[in-house]
Structure 1
Amino acid sequence: MNLLVDLGNSRLKWAWSDESGLRAGEPVDHSRPLDVELAAAWADAPHVTRALVASVARPRLEAELAQAIRARLRVEPEFVASRAEACGVRVAYARPEKLGVDRFLALIALYAQAREPVVLASVGTALVLDALAADGRHLGGLIAPSPMLMQEALLGATARVSASSSARVVEAADDTEDAVRSGCWLAAAALVERFHSGCAQAFGAPSALALAGGAARELAPLVRVPARIEPDLVLRGLAVLAGETP
């Protein structure tokens, strides 16, 4: 049995993985002590032979996670890094290690699922776009603030602009709260549409659009392109990578 861990900016997601597939556990919020949360989550852990970790979090959290894995599961964690090529995916970056490992693994998961041209839009702390050709070539991507981060930046830089949790997303707002929320979310949707359209020329064919991340379901109805939501791409990519590397 393998343990797969996606240590993100705000949450830790994890799963057990073997030949029968993934069994995801409940995500863990960073605001709570990792050792306490993982002790409860892994109380009935099976025998684990490998623990693969993808992390974009701070070194302190990585150290806490590594200690928890050693203490609870008696294995040494393997922190995965992006590289030039793996599992049929070839990274566009001249320095592959500069590509976020979450992006790298998400591309591996998509390529393993289907050999098709696809644009991935991941909406979390940031809005991250990547293009993947049917032959596994990564064509590059973009990084922008997520709609939530756009709104936080706007509110932090202006004295008389306000927000509301009940604000709507509309095409033309008639109050400030709706205008702020609508502007941020529709800006993100427009960027996804533009990137997807531009990639059609690079691919030489229409491409699929996959949405991932915690805000994918909120963004999906705002994008005027057929899209599918892909959950747990980082964990799925780790499972593919685990099957290729002994």
Structure 2
Amino acid sequence: MNLLVDLGNSRLKWAWAEGDTLTVGEPVDHSRPLQPQLEVLWRQAPPIGRALVASVARPRLEAELAQAIHACVGVEPEFIASAASACGVHSAYATPEKLGVDRFVAMIALHARAAVPVVLASVGTALVLDALDADGRHGGGLIAPSPMLMQEALLGATARVSASSTALTVEMAADTEDAVRSGCWLAAAALVERFYATAAARMAHPPVLVIAGGAAAELAPLVRVPSRIEPDLVLRGLAVMARSGCAKPLPNR
């Protein structure tokens, strides 16, 4: 049995993996100490062979996680690095390790599921876009603020603009609260559509649009391209890497 961990900017996601079976656990808010929370979640952990981690978090939090994994399941975690090529996916980056490991591992999950052209839009703290051809070649991507982050930036920089938890997303708003929410979410949707059109023009066949991340269900209906929502892509990609033996751990972790 393997332990798989996706350490993101705002929360930790994890799963047990054995062969093709993935059992996803309850996400953890890492604004609070990790070890007490993980001790509860992992108190009946099966014997663990490996612990693979894809992290985009700060080093301090990675160190806290490493200590918690060792204390809770008795293995040293392997922090995975992006590579020039792994599991059939080939990075477009000249310096491959600069590609966010969550993006790289998510593309591995998609390519392992089906060797078809894909555009991946992942919306969490950031809105991240990537294009992947059927042969596993990454065409590059974009990073922008998520709609939530856009709204926070707008509210922090203006004195008389307000937001509301009940605001609606509409094409033309008749009050400020709806205008703020709508502008941020429709801007994100428009960027996804533009990136999709650019990627499709460069591919031999029309790509599938996959939307992932914590706000996928809110973004998907706003995008005027047929799409499907894919949960837990990073965990699924880590499972592929564990099965195939193509995981490349970072040194000195």
Task: Quote the Cα distance in structure 2 between the aligned partners of 1:165 and 1:187.
Answer: 19
What is the RMSD of the two structures over their aligned residues, measured on CA atoms? 0.8
Which structure 2 residue ranges, 5 or more long, are not aligned? 247-253
> 1:202 is matched with which residue?
202
Task: Quote the Cα distance in structure 1 between the aligned partners of 2:72 and 2:179.
Answer: 49
1:108-164 Cα offsets, whole Å, 9 max, x none, are 000000111110000000000000000000000000000000000000010000010
> 1:180 is matched with which residue?
180
Which amino acid is the alignment partner of residue 134 of structure 2? A
1:87-110 Cα offsets, whole Å, 9 max, x none, are 000000000000000000000000
SS at match of 1:128: strand
> 1:97 is matched with which residue?
97
8 A contact 2:19–2:243 mirrored in 1? no
> 1:55 is matched with which residue?
55
Residue 205 (structure 1) shift: 2.0
Residue 204 (structure 1) shift: 2.6
SS at match of 1:178: helix
Task: Quote the Cα distance in structure 2 between the aligned partners of 1:163 and 1:49.
Answer: 48
SS at match of 1:83: coil
Task: Quote the Cα distance in structure 2 between the aligned partners of 1:89 and 1:57.
Answer: 23
Which amino acid is the alignment partner of residue 227 of structure 1? S
> 1:212 is matched with which residue?
212
Task: Quote the Cα distance in structure 1 between the aligned partners of 2:197 and 2:51.
Answer: 39
> 2:40 is matched with which residue?
40
> 1:74 is matched with which residue?
74
2:109 counterpart of 1:109 = yes
Which structure 1 residue ranges, 5 or more long, are not aligned? none
2:5 counterpart of 1:5 = yes
SS at match of 1:130: strand
Post-superposition, which runs of at least 4 consecutive aligned residues in structure 1 deviate over 4 A? none
Residue 76 (structure 1) shift: 0.9
SS at match of 2:141: strand
Identity over aligned pairs, percent:
75
> 1:83 is matched with which residue?
83
> 2:235 is matched with which residue?
235
2:171 counterpart of 1:171 = yes
With 180-189 and 66-75 compared, the bigger mean Cα shift is at: 66-75
Residue 243 (structure 1) shift: 1.1
SS at match of 2:12: strand
SS at match of 2:82: coil
SS at match of 1:15: strand
Task: Quote the Cα distance in structure 2 between the aligned partners of 1:93 and 1:31.
Answer: 32
SS at match of 1:139: strand
1:163-187 Cα offsets, whole Å, 9 max, x none, are 1000000000010000000000000
> 2:249 is matched with which residue?
none
Which amino acid is the alignment partner of residue 27 of structure 1? P
Task: Quote the Cα distance in structure 2 between the aligned partners of 1:12 and 1:83.
Answer: 23
Task: Quote the Cα distance in structure 2 between the aligned partners of 1:199 and 1:59.
Answer: 34
TM-score by structure 2 length?
0.96
> 1:158 is matched with which residue?
158
8 A contact 2:3–2:16 mirrored in 1? yes
SS at match of 1:76: coil
With 197-206 and 98-107 compared, the bigger mean Cα shift is at: 197-206
Residue 73 (structure 1) shift: 1.0
Task: Quote the Cα distance in structure 2 between the aligned partners of 1:123 and 1:188.
Answer: 9
TM-score by structure 1 length?
0.99
Which amino acid is the alignment partner of residue 242 of structure 1? A
